[in-house]
Amino acid sequence: MSEYEFCTTETDGHLLTVTINRPDVMNSLHPPANFELAKVFDDFAANPDLWVAIITGAGERAFSAGNDLKFQATGGKMEIPPSGFAGLTSRYDCDKPIIAAVNGVAMGGGFEIALACDLIIASDNATFALPEPKVGLAALAGGLHRLPRQIPVKHALGMILTGRRVGAEEGKALGFVNDVVPQGELMVAARKWAEMILECSPMSIRASKQAVYAGLNEADLEKAIGGKYDAVYAMLKSEDFVEGPMAFMQKRKPDWKGR
């Protein structure tokens, strides 16, 4: 385990687990924490041996309460790294899967971090909201745009325009939560999802993620399907592209290389 000032990281094979570690302020983020997390995810994106990441929050109360309003109210300058809140909300070029394991409160920027991830696994006490309008702000770190793309617009506006809190089960019913588990089982469940991803070729996973997100930018289905995706070309030229069919033919588990 590698220790930082505002988060902890742990690697297990090809899996990286990142824990926001400011439980005394419900894991809310100020500029030093944001820049630290940006470096963590820069390193994750660049490391060929890390294929999947999980992000969660320390303690049982909160995943992240979002922007550290106390820091801002006392005159702190709210600088954000180019890759966005927690180094994730403006990170558009990472093809590796990132899972949000949401324990407790995910409010404002905390919810925006989760929405920027590819999967959301929630404990049964998780709560989601974009309450920025209640304090004269707006969810400008992606929440206003990601939420209406992930659930029906009327449901998204129902959350955005009221700032109301949505529990884990409702989040799953609305469609932005993948799985809800008891609080004590959250990390076990998140790792199970990660393990299912890790059973697949990382080259295929990156190609699939890139094609999905880039394809969503195309209104025309034919253009999306016929799009040119670098990660797809990389998959077709990879060792894994040969290994997968060979392992299937030989009735054995594939030995993925990620290249």
Q: What does the pLDDT read at residue 2?
A: 58
Catalytic annotation, pick one of 3, 36, 79, 132? 132
Q: What does the pLDDT read at residue 161?
A: 98
- Spatial neighbors of 127 by CB under 8 A, at least 6 apart, are 104, 105, 106, 107, 165, 166, 167, 168
Catalytic annotation, pick one of 112, 169, 195, 239? 112
Q: Is 218 a catalytic residue?
A: no
CA 174 remoteness from chain centre: 18
Q: What is the DSSP string of 210-235?
A: HHHHHHHT-SSHHHHHT---HHHHHH
Q: What does the pLDDT read at residue 244?
A: 97
Q: Is 132 a catalytic residue?
A: yes
Q: What does the pLDDT read at residue 172?
A: 98
Q: What does the pLDDT read at residue 3?
A: 75
Structure-derived torsion over alpha carbons of residues 60, 180, 156, 59, reported in degrees to the nearest 10: 10
**8 A C-beta contact, residue 95 and residue 49:** no
- Spatial neighbors of 80 by CB under 8 A, at least 6 apart, are 31, 34, 90, 141
In the chain the first and final C-alpha atoms are separated, in Å, by: 26
Q: What does the pLDDT read at residue 52?
A: 98
Low-confidence ranges of the chain (pLDDT < 50): none
Q: How far apart are CA 163 and CA 103, in angstroms?
A: 19
Axis crossing angle, helix 153-160 with helix 143-150, rounded to the nearest 10: 140
**The overall pTM is greater than 0.85:** yes
What ranges do the domains of the chain cover? 2-198, 202-249
Query: Could you tell me which CATH class the domain 2-198 is placed in?
Result: alpha beta
Q: What does the pLDDT read at residue 79?
A: 87
Q: What does the pLDDT read at residue 127?
A: 98
